[in-house]
Amino acid sequence: MKKVCVVGLGYIGLPTSAIFANAGFEVVGVDVNEKVVQTLNTGEIHIEENGLPELFKKVVQEGKFRASLVPEKADVFIIAVPTPIHEDYTANIDYVVDATKSIVPYLEKGNVVIVESTIPPRTMDDVVAPIIREHGLDPEKDIYLAHCPERVLPGRILIELVENTRIVGGVTKEAAKKAADVYRAIVKGEVIETEAVTAEMSKLMENTFRDVNIALANELVKISQRIGVDAHKVIELANKHPRVNIHLPGPGVGGHCLAVDPYFIIEKAKEESPLIQTARRINNSMPYFVVEQIQRMTAELASPKVAIFGLTYKGNTDDVRESPAIKIYELLKQHSRFEVRAYDPHVKQEQVSFPLSTLEEAVHGAHLVVVLADHNEFKNMKAEDFAAMKTKVIFDTKNCVHLNDESITVYKIGNLYSVKAIQE
């Protein structure tokens, strides 16, 4: 196993390519975006991830990685393309289907084919395997076909690709073993072999567990506002119990995993998943809840100026996929009385469809700053950063702002019962 072809060069495919290349494999990365391919072949990257620019430049200069618009023959094929959802919340596996079809002309007997994309249960058996069979190869005898879902944290991807346990589900036992051996060449953590459908479900349940837990915390926020208690303090004290781990509340759930993966289970077993569906409804309601609080805070203002701080779904990344912050911005813009400005030091203008402001532009004359991402830049803000505000009020939905200045009022999302309308 000397050559790896990775299809999809986004937040997972690109770091995965870099790790394999750094381990000595010849890696060809495939993407449909010509601009991305051109950028990568210069040694530069198009995403933000700790440590990746340096590692990627190194493997390109060493000739271990090159990008292409089309696949090539290889020993191992890894599919790492997005799996979004349709408007009806069913899984959109078109990219996985297209990626599989793109590699079949290059497949040979004995190749290992791995899908890392998060997929609904039975996708490997019912969708991917038949595509390979239609091409004239037996996915149970000629090809080693497996699912190995990514399970990494943005900001720590290069570390966790190597250190985390990997679950490898094969269409056959032999496929699980062959695919697992591919990862054992780069992974220091445990590599566990299982069936494809079990691997599919394990990834979905990892993220569903977190989504349900966050929904519990977000429901607590709403209850706390009603009865007059600080949800953050409640969670802090409850978590001192050795068997309790309530997650943190926030403005909603975003990203390519938590906000999407539960629907893959719901789609396959709607009657059996009422708890998962309720959690999704709670978390999807949070942007509306945040906007309601902004309306409460600005009720006495004729033309409130609101500065949105943070557009990503997660702190210290540039990832805006499914971000509740984007939804909140759009909801505010629907109200003609609001003047809304958006600032995020990690997001580039081409990533969003509305104008971005600098820090100075966002706070100048603002009545309210709404913090929607826990970037380090926001955790380390000083009182002087808000000097140009008209009324110095901050609504911190991520519990990350730590200011000790009596001239600035900070409302936390877990402590909203004390909110008073802003007065000019």
Dump pLDDT digits (tens) for 51-80: 999 999 999 999 999 999 999 999 999 999
Task: Assess whether pLDDT exceeds 90 at residue 370.
Answer: yes
Q: Which residues pair with 30 in a beta bridge?
A: 7, 68
- Quick check: 260 and 321 in contact, CB under 8 A? no
Query: Where residue 225 falls among pLDDT bands split at 50, 70, 90?
Result: very high
Domain range list for the chain = 3-202, 281-418
What's domain 281-418's superfamily in CATH? NAD(P)-binding Rossmann-like Domain (3.40.50.720)
Give 31's contacts (C-beta < 8 A, 6+ positions apart).
Answer: 7, 8, 9, 13, 37, 40, 67, 69
Please report where in the chains the tokens 């399970």 appear, as a residue.
151
Q: Given a cut of 90, is residue 257 above it in pLDDT?
A: no
Residue 115 host element (H or E) = strand 112-115
Given this model, what pLDDT does residue 129 score?
A: 98
Residue 404's pLDDT is: 87
Enzyme catalytic residues: 203, 257
Whether the model pTM is above 0.75? yes
- Decide if pLDDT at 348 tops 80: yes
Q: Which CATH superfamily is domain 3-202 in?
A: NAD(P)-binding Rossmann-like Domain (3.40.50.720)
How many separate helices (H) and strands (E) can be counted in the chain? Answer: 15, 13
What does the block give as tokens for 174? Answer: 């032999």
**Whether the domain at 3-202 and the domain at 281-418 fall into the same CATH topology:** yes
Q: Label residue 237 by pLDDT band (50, 70, 90).
A: very high
Tens of pLDDT, residue by residue over 113-137, are 999 999 999 999 999 999 999 999 9
As a whole number, mean pLDDT of residues 336-355 equals: 96
Secondary structure (3-state) at 86: coil
Distance CA 383, CA 395 (A): 15
Distance CA 313, CA 112 (A): 34
Q: What is the pLDDT of residue 379?
A: 96
- Give the residues across from 178 on adjacent strands: none
State the chain's mean pLDDT as an integer.
Answer: 96
Which pLDDT tens digit goes with each residue over 390-407? Answer: 999 999 999 999 998 999
Burial 255-291 (b: 16+ CB within 10 A, else e): bbbbbbbbbbbbbbeeeebeebeebbebbbbbbebbb
Evaluate if residue 36 carries a pLDDT over 90: yes
